[in-house]
């Protein structure tokens, strides 16, 4: 469901750049919105999107951003730099350099002991004032306490999250509860994968993999992860 998740991530980005949650709330309260600074949106065209992790989902996100005429950067030590360059994605070898150069940052990295809290207080501090952060990958990629501080201080312009270190969310005792109700925060319940088309593909792929096992054929795996691709027996990577 890489295209589906990427579309969900891009939807979060669009909603935040155009202040859709705040404006919708105001209009539904029988208000009218006049062109005031608090409602001022931002263009994606000519802005810079930084991708932290650039596998299948990150690359799908890059294609969408390029369609909006955005510059796309990527930090992914495990990716093939030549492949990314051929896709028009600029490879940045230093995470802090990518964060400092990006107007918007979207996380698409795998979670492991090296990437847990990959985005902490030092990383948030080097992001541009007013930058927007999107995470549809794994909640524990972000230090949520540091994230709350970055939002409440006004350093970040907005965040869109679909994943959390502790799920489900709760109004009591959850590290992110201070962000509930804020106009520049979108909290999605781990559902960016959940579309009719993605569920149909999931069913079809599951059945196809079962038949591969039953018939003794190599199992098809959709992954660019080099750790998985190190396996040579009984699998076929696409």
pLDDT at 96: 99
- For 119, other C-beta atoms within 10 Å of its C-beta total 24
pLDDT at 74: 99
Which residues are part of the catalytic machinery?
Answer: 138, 167, 190
pLDDT at 128: 99
227/234 Cα distance (integer angstroms): 15
Three-state DSSP at 206 gives helix
pLDDT at 193: 97
Check residue 157 and give left, alpha or beta (phi > 0: left; psi -120 to 50: alpha).
alpha
**What is the mean pLDDT for each group of 10 consecutive residues in the chain (238 residues)?**
96 98 94 92 99 97 99 96 97 98 98 98 99 99 99 99 96 95 97 97 95 94 81 87
Computed on alpha carbons and rounded to an integer, the radius of gyration of the chain in Å comes to 19
- The domains of the chain, with CATH numbers, are 2-187 (3.40.50.720), 196-237 (no CATH)
Bridge partner residues of 159 (DSSP): 133, 185
pLDDT tens sequence across 192-215: 999 999 999 999 999 999 999 999
Report pTM: 0.93
pLDDT tens sequence across 129-158: 999 999 999 999 999 999 999 999 999 999
């Amino acid at each position: 469901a890489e295209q589906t998740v990427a579309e969900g991530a891009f939807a979060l980005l669009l909603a935040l750049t155009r202040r859709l949650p705040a404006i919708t709330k105001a209009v539904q309260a029988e208000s009218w919105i006049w062109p005031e600074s608090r409602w001022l949106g931002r263009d994606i065209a000519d802005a810079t999107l930084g991708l932290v992790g650039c596998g299948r989902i990150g690359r799908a996100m890059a294609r969408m951003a390029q369609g909006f005429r955005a510059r796309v950067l990527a930090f992914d030590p495990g990716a093939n730099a030549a492949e990314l360059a051929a896709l028009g994605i600029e490879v940045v070898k230093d995470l802090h350099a990518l964060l400092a150069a990006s107007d918007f940052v979207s996380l698409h990295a795998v979670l492991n002991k090296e990437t847990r809290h990959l985005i902490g207080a030092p990383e948030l501090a080097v992001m541009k004032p007013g930058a927007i952060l999107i995470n549809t990958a794994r909640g524990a990629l972000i230090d949520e306490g540091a994230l709350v501080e970055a939002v409440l201080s006004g350093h970040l312009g907005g965040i869109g999250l679909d994943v959390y270190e502790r799920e489900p969310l709760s109004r009591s005792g959850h590290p992110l509860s201070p962000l509930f109700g804020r106009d520049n925060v979108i909290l999605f319940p781990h559902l960016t994968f959940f579309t009719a088309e993605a569920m149909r593909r999931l069913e079809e792929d599951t059945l196809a993999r079962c038949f591969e096992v039953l018939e003794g054929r190599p199992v098809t795996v959709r992954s660019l992860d080099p750790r998985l691709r190190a396996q040579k027996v009984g699998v076929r990577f696409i």
